[in-house]
Amino acid sequence: DIVMTQSPDSLAVSLGERATINCKSSLSVISSSNDKNYLGWYQQKPGQSPKLLISWASTRESGVPDRFSGSGSGTDFTLTISSLQAEDVAVYYCQQYYNTPTFGQGTKVEIK
Amino acid sequence: EVQLVQSGAEVKKPGESLKISCKGSGYSFSSYWIAWVRQMPGKGLEWMGIIFPGDSDTRYNPSFQGQVTISADKAITTAYLQWSSLRPSDTAMYFCARSGGRGPQSPFPHWGQGTLVTVSS
């Protein structure tokens, strides 16, 4: 299995400030056939289902605010919230779907 | 609009069997993969397995192989997750999710609301 490791486990950021979450995979999740990174980011608010924010490492889903962005390639990825809003308090998960999908352990984002 | 509607919460005793469901609508049910994801209380997301309703091709996370059975009935656009003998450690929220693309190597943009399963004597 590909192991996904996120850092940090939690972070507290002031409103309007930048939040950065890292995700590292134990194997590369980029396909040599299409040059795509099989990596997604999900947001889960308390009591809700996960919501896909970013797919293919950097493609924002329809309706997702542009303060959310994804970057990285191969084994190292980042989710950035450029200006944290109160409604962004949630747990964020990275997921690889290169082979049997696996999730990172989650990063809890709170307001400082 | 794509919708996945899951069956309601269940309270079961150890050793009992259970089958929970996920009904898809608003799209061609046979053409997209459906996955099941476990979330134990206060914990993260775990991928259990995936099924293609068109031909019932099913793939399991090795950690869940033999512990659960995933199935689908395309005639009634419903996927299932079942246990033959529940354990207290099966207590969790279970989500179904639909792939965004036609292949299994796809992100999952559509999720059900979750089914809470509680196993206790």
Please state, in angstroms and rounded to a whole number, the distance separating the CA atoms of residues B63 and B68.
Answer: 10
Q: Which residue of A has its CA nearest to B112?
A: A49
> Which parts of B1-121 fold into alpha helices (H)?
none
* pLDDT at B103 exceeding the cut of 90: no
Sign of CA dihedral A79, A105, A88, B118: positive
Residues A96 and A3: their CA atoms lie apart, in Å, by: 9
Alpha carbon distance A52, A46 (integer Å): 15
Structure tokens at B66: 């033999």
Q: In terms of Cα–Cα distance, which of B120, B90, B112 is closest to B19? A: B90
pLDDT digits (tens, 9 = 90+) for A26-78: 999 999 999 999 999 999 999 999 999 999 999 999 999 999 999 999 999 99
**Which residue of A49, A64, A107 to mutate against B (max B Cβ within 10 Å)?**
A49
Query: Hey, are the CB atoms on A44 and B45 less than 8 Å from each other?
Result: yes
Closest CA to B103 of B33, B56, B47: B33
* pLDDT value at residue A106: 98
Kindly indicate the confidence band of residue A110, based on its pLDDT and cuts at 50, 70 and 90.
very high
pLDDT, average across residues B88-100: 97
Report the alpha-carbon angle B96-B101-B105, nearest 5: 80
CB < 8 Å to B100, chain A = 52, 55
Average pLDDT estimate for B94-117: 95
- The A residues from 53 to 72 touching B (CB cutoff 8 Å) are 55-56, 61
Provide, as residue numbers in chain A, all residues whose Cβ is less than 8 Å from the Cβ of B62. Answer: 1, 100
What does the pLDDT read at residue A1? 86
From the number of C-beta atoms within 10 Å of its C-beta (0-12, 13-18, 19+), residue A89 rates as middle
The pLDDT assigned to B28 comes to: 96
Mean pLDDT for the stretch of residues A77-101? 97
- Strand order in B78-83's β-sheet? B3-6, B18-25, B78-83, B69-73
Contact between residue A46 and residue A61 where contact means Cβ atoms under 8 Å apart: no
The residue of chain A nearest to residue B36, with distances taken between CA atoms, is A101
Neighbours of B47 (CB within 10 A): 22
Residue A7: pLDDT band with limits 50, 70, 90:
very high
Q: What is the mean pLDDT of residues B76-90?
A: 98
B residues 79..118 contacting A (CB < 8 A): 95, 97, 100, 104-109, 111-114
pLDDT at B92: 98
A–B CB contacts, 8 A cutoff, strictly below: 55
Write out pLDDT tens, residues A65-87: 999 999 999 999 999 999 999 99
pLDDT of residue B102: 83
Q: What is the mean pLDDT of residues B34-47?
A: 97
Residue of A nearest to B98 (CA): A52
Query: pLDDT at residue B104 above 90?
Result: no
A:15-54 residues touching chain B, CB 8 A cutoff? 38, 40, 42, 44, 49-52
